[in-house]
A = this chain, B = another copy of it.
Amino acid sequence: MIGRLVKDRVLAAKQAINELYNTGYYGRPKGDTLELTLIEAAYLLYKKKLDIELNGRILGFEEFFTEASKMQQYFELKYIVYKDLRERGFYVQPSVTDFRVYPRGGHPGKTPARSFVYVRSERIPMPLPDLFTSLNAADNVHKQMVLAIVDEESDLTYYEVKKVNVKGAMPAISSQGDLIRATLLEDRVIVWDASSSQHLHLDGFYGKPLDDERLQLSLVESAYLMQRGLISIGSSDTAGFLDIDGFSVVASSIEPDFLRKYKAYANLRDSGLVPKTGFKFGTHFRVYSQVSLTGKMPHSEYLIHAIPWDHVFMLPVMSRAVRLANSVRKRMLYAVEDRDTIAYVDIGRIKM
């Protein structure tokens, strides 16, 4: 079987429709011709199912592969992913986001595709808006979105990306009368009174005991409790009290991304979840569905990192975050500020 290289396509005669399309769903029949992408053609050349002709001459694999990689950006990356998917037994067609992949047992003309696969190099930073474009393209037609990342040694990792809703079962804490007095010392807040400390810690899992009487609150916890009208925060410097704006200014000077973190924190708490620091995991939060200190400490379900809408993912960093989350049986979620609300994007490794 011979195909002719014409610009960035390889065209084969009618017989190819029978031999390549009808048996393996390679290419797309266009009238009496089968049209193949460079990637499909390279794979068929490797499989010795196709010879490729240019100007009356048959090209060897090295020659065709080298030419194709000049014609199409990221040709090798995409070839590696295409070959891998094919060798795992999937039928694959080109798509707006690199590839459409059919479910096992399905094929073009019989079943709709199941996944959109988006190929990226480990080395190339991935802007969140690009990821959202692909995710929305997949969502709109109810496809699974798969991110295929090729590392410097051409190893492949597949990730499923999806938007999720999160919800917990933690009851909101109630006021016990007067505002609870607390003091901002350097970069943390201390509640001095023993019974208030216990109330906040035991009933809401806020803060961490400094000792058996006093409680330390993090900056986001303090801002949330202040916003909810439960505590008042004095400044050790001025001996006066801070309002929420004043506190935010101080907190932002201590922690430059305080406001972004706080918005995600407040949204999680408002959704009945219990976010605590995720420092040990390198993320902003680890998140529990519910915590009762009288029972056994539950397992936290999510690691959540708050990012701006124009965040750029460094893929080695993302890979590490997801791998670590999965190794401790948690989901890795990114909390993205989306106008007045927060969108949660779940990124998890999958086997294809």
Residues of A within 8 A of B (CB): 46, 61-62, 65-66, 69-70, 73-76, 80, 83, 121-123, 149, 151-155, 157, 183, 185-188, 190, 192, 207-208, 210-211, 214, 216, 218-220, 236-237, 254-255, 276-277, 279-283, 315-317, 319-321, 323-324, 327-328
Contacts and interface: CB of A to CB of B under 8 A. Distances in A.
Given A185-B66, A236-B66, A321-B320, A151 B279 contact: yes
Contacts of A279: 122, 149, 151-153, 155, 157, 315-316, 319
B319 A282 contact: yes
A22 B278 CA distance: 41
A94 B122 CA distance: 46
A62 to B, nearest CB: 5
A323 B280 contact: yes
Contact of A255 (B62, B123, B207, B220): B123
Contact of A183 (B66, B214, B281, B315): B66
> Can you tell how many copies of this chain the complex includes?
2
Nearest to A123: B255
Nearest to A60: B192
A280 B319 contact: yes
A349 to B, nearest CB: 9
A223 B46 CA distance: 28
Q: Which has the most chain B C-beta neighbours within 10 Å: A123, A149, A188, A281?
A: A188
10 contacts: A70-B236, A75-B185, A75-B186, A152-B187, A153-B218, A153-B277, A154-B188, A281-B319, A282-B320, A327-B327
A121 to B, nearest CB: 7
B186 A76 contact: yes
A156 to B, nearest CB: 10
A281 B123 CA distance: 14
Nearest to A80: B210
A39 to B, nearest CB: 13
A-B complex: 4 closest residue pairs judged by Cβ atoms:
A282-B320, A151-B279, A152-B218, A69-B185
